[in-house]
Structure 1
Amino acid sequence: MPLFAPRPLFLLMFLACLAIVGGALYMEHVLGQEPCPLCIIQRIEVIAMGLVCLLAAVHNPAGVGRRVYAGLALFIAAAGVATAGRQVYLTTLPADQVPACLPPLDYMLEAFPLWEILSKMLSGTADCAKVDWTLLGLSIPELSLLAFCGLALVALMQLLRRVA
Structure 2
Amino acid sequence: MSKRNYRSIQAVLLLLTLIVVGFSFYFQYVVGLQPCPLCLMQRLCAFLLGMFCLMGLCLSTLKRGRFVAILQMFFATSGLFFASRQLWLQSLPAEQAPVCLPGLEILIRYFPWQDVAHALFWGSGECAEVSWQWLGLSMPAWAALYFFFMLVVCGVLYWRLGRTLRQLGRW
TMscore range, shorter length: over 0.9
Give the aligned partner of residue 55 of structure 1. 55
Aligned twin of 2:28: 28
Partner of 2:75: 76
Q: Which runs of 4+ in 1 moved over 4 A?
A: 1-4
SS in 1 for 2:62: coil
Q: What letter matches 1:23 in structure 2?
A: F
Aligned-residue RMSD, C-alpha: 1.9
Q: Percent identity?
A: 34
Cα drift, residue 115 of structure 1 = 4.0
TM-score (norm 1): 0.92
Name the CA shift for 1:60/1:8 in 2 (closer, same or farther; >3 Å): farther
Distance 1:57 1:128, change over 3 A: same
Corresponding residue number in structure 1 for 2:138: 139
AA paired with 2:96? Answer: Q
1:140–1:7 CA distance, 2 compared to 1 (3 A):
same
The alignment status of 1:91 with 2:122, answered yes or no, reads no
Closer, same or farther: CA 91–148 of 1 in aligned 2, 3 Å: same
Q: Residues 159, 2 of structure 1: CA spacing in aligned structure 2 closer, same or farther, 3 A cutoff?
A: closer
Q: 1:90-109: CA deviations, max 9, x gaps?
A: 11000000001112222222
Listed one character per residue, the Cα deviations across residues 43-71 of structure 1 (whole Å, up to 9, x for unaligned) are 011000100111111224312x1110000
Shift of 1:110: 2.3
| Alpha carbons 2:42, 2:82 under 8 Å: kept | yes
Q: Tell me whether 1:19 sits opposite 2:15 in the alignment.
A: no
- In the superposition, relative to structure 1, how do residues 56 and 147 fare at CA in structure 2: closer, same or farther (>3 Å)? same
State the shift of 1:82 in Å: 0.5
Look up the SS of the partner of 2:164 in the other structure: coil
Q: Cα distance 1:22–1:67, how it changes in 2: closer, same or farther (>3 A)?
A: same
Structure with higher Rg: it is: 2
Please state which structure has a larger fraction of its residues in helix.
Answer: 2
Kept after mapping to 2: 8 A contact 1:6/1:60: no
Q: Deviations over 1:129-161 (max 9, x none)?
A: 111211111100100000000000111011111
Is the CA contact 1:7–1:60 (under 8 Å) kept in the aligned structure 2? no
SS at match of 1:30: helix
1:159 and 1:11 map into 2 onto residues whose CA distance is 16
2:141 maps to amino acid: E
- C-alpha displacement at 1:13, in angstroms? 1.0
- Structure 1 unaligned residues grouped into runs of 5+: none
Q: TM-score, normalised by structure 2?
A: 0.89
